[in-house]
Amino acid sequence: MNKIYNPTPDTWSTLLERPTKTVDDIEFTVKEIFKEVQKKGDLAVAKYTSLFDGVSLDNYEVSQEEINEAIGLIANELKEAIQLAKSNIEKFHAAQKTDRVIIETTEGVNCWQEKRPIQKIGLYIPGGTAPLFSTVLMLAVPANIAGCNEIVLCSPPDKNGNINPAILYAANLCGVTKILKVGGIQAIAGMTFGTESIPKVYKIFGPGNQFVTVAKQLATQFGVAIDMPAGPSELLVVADDTAVPAFVASDLLSQAEHGTDSQVLLVSTSKNLIDAVEKEIQIQLDLLPRKAIAEKAIANSKLIYVENDSIALELINEYGPEHFIICTAADDFYIDGIENAGSVFIGNYTPESAGDYASGTNHTLPTNGFAKNYSGVNLDSFTKSMTFQKISKKGIQNIGKAIEIMAEAEGLQAHKNAVTLRLKTIEDEK
């Protein structure tokens, strides 16, 4: 890993750059596939599934028979682990439910807000070298709690035309209504426009590679909402001599093994800790089955020494990490001061892996600095807030004059008239 000592603020923007391609590099490819899927539907999906996934399929929808077969392939130990995780995720997200908010703003003017579910949800679940069945839990569980009617899941098939059994097990357990063997840009395009096999949805959720991220962003140009621009995974750890070097190294590697374009950073006020973590990374790296992937990610990553906690916090807020681990003697300082982070993990015994799987918080989080203006997925991500109002005769009398004056000042006479007619009717009734 690259070691940097006391970087000055004027170098931070360069130092903290993510190892990702720019949108311009891949936007053309994404747009071309979108155009073809919009025009040709399943024919285009078949073309790109063959090209990118190396398989030709007659039917994209996973059958109940395939789901039942997948359930039989999952070890009981894994089923129990998934069920535990699901239970904790349910508890955390169910606790986010809010009651109707109602207020009489003026006598006779009653206003309230209610949450209503988004009816049609699309979930994108990466497959490939790391089939993320845990993401099914993170997305389908809150979608069900919110009351979404249709939950469509797309995941890329393997060379045999199958989806990983654990993904199918989790999807069935969490109430997904349709599972499709479609991945990549063509899956996002299919859920954006709808094809013969893929339903059009109102909002798309889920992480993916840089092509999927750009595809989701492009989907918003066609009236489809997305959870956030979630790209390659990233982690920043702030630690000092109170941290256990082996723990810190294991956390850094846990994100590095996601993909070659992942990025991990250690920020520390201790040079000794940095040296110890560097040694631990090499020891643990050599034992990883995904060593080749983690090694490339580590090459994009950095060990940064700064002189004090204040500088460290300023740098961290500038970076805006997806995952942020705090393991210092000044934990409260960082907890109180962090402004830009997707999810925060505190102390020696809180690995980032806990949030990825089973603590209950959601692991679908903003990356690439979007933690500065996006939240991670939560229950509200699957709902819309609708406002209501009911005004009595007394109420319109109380606010009517103000409405008339404001409408006239804006030159909107019909707006004024809508109130004037009502006030006159009330006056005539007296």
Catalytic residues: 322-323
Q: Is 210 annotated as a binding residue?
A: no
3-state SS string for the chain: CEEEECCCHHHHHHHCCCCCCCHHHHHHHHHHHHHHHHHHCHHHHHHHHHHHHCCCCCCCECCHHHHHHHHHHCCHHHHHHHHHHHHHHHHHHHCCCCCCEEEEEECCEEEEEEEEECCEEEEECCCCCCCCHHHHHHHHHHHHHHCCCEEEEECCCCCCCCCCHHHHHHHHHCCCCEEECCCHHHHHHHHHHCCCCCCCCCEEECCCCHHHHHHHHHHHHHCCEECCCCCCCEEEEEECCCCCHHHHHHHHHHHHCCCCCCEEEEEECCHHHHHHHHHHHHHHHCCCCCHHHHHHHHHCCEEEECCCHHHHHHHHHHHCCCEEEEECCCHHHHHHHCCCCCEEEECCCCCHHHHHHCCCCCCCCCCCCHHHCCCCCCHHHHEEEEEEEEECHHHHHHHHHHHHHHHHHCCCHHHHHHHHHHHHHHHHHC
Does 60 show up as a binding residue in the annotation? no
Tokens linked to 7: 């970087």
Q: Are 302 and 278 in contact (CB under 8 A)?
A: no
What is the number of other CB atoms lying within 10 angstroms of the CB of residue 192?
26
Q: Burial of 203 by CB count in 10 Å (0-12 exposed, 13-18 middle, 19+ buried)?
A: buried
> Annotated binding residue at 251?
no
* 363 marked among binding-site residues: no
255 is in an annotated binding site: yes
The response to whether 356 counts as a known ligand-binding position is yes
186 marked as binding residue: yes
**Is 93 within any annotated ligand binding site?**
no
For residues 173 and 121, is the Cβ–Cβ distance under 8 A? no
Q: How far apart are CA 125 and CA 135, in angstroms?
A: 7
Q: How far is CA 13 from CA 44, 119, 365, in A?
A: 40, 41, 22
Residues of each annotated binding site for substrate: 233, 255, 258, 323, 356, 410, 415
Residues of each annotated binding site for NAD(+): 124, 186, 209
Residues of each annotated binding site for Zn(2+): 255, 258, 356, 415
Residues of each annotated binding site: 124, 186, 209, 233, 255, 258, 323, 356, 410, 415
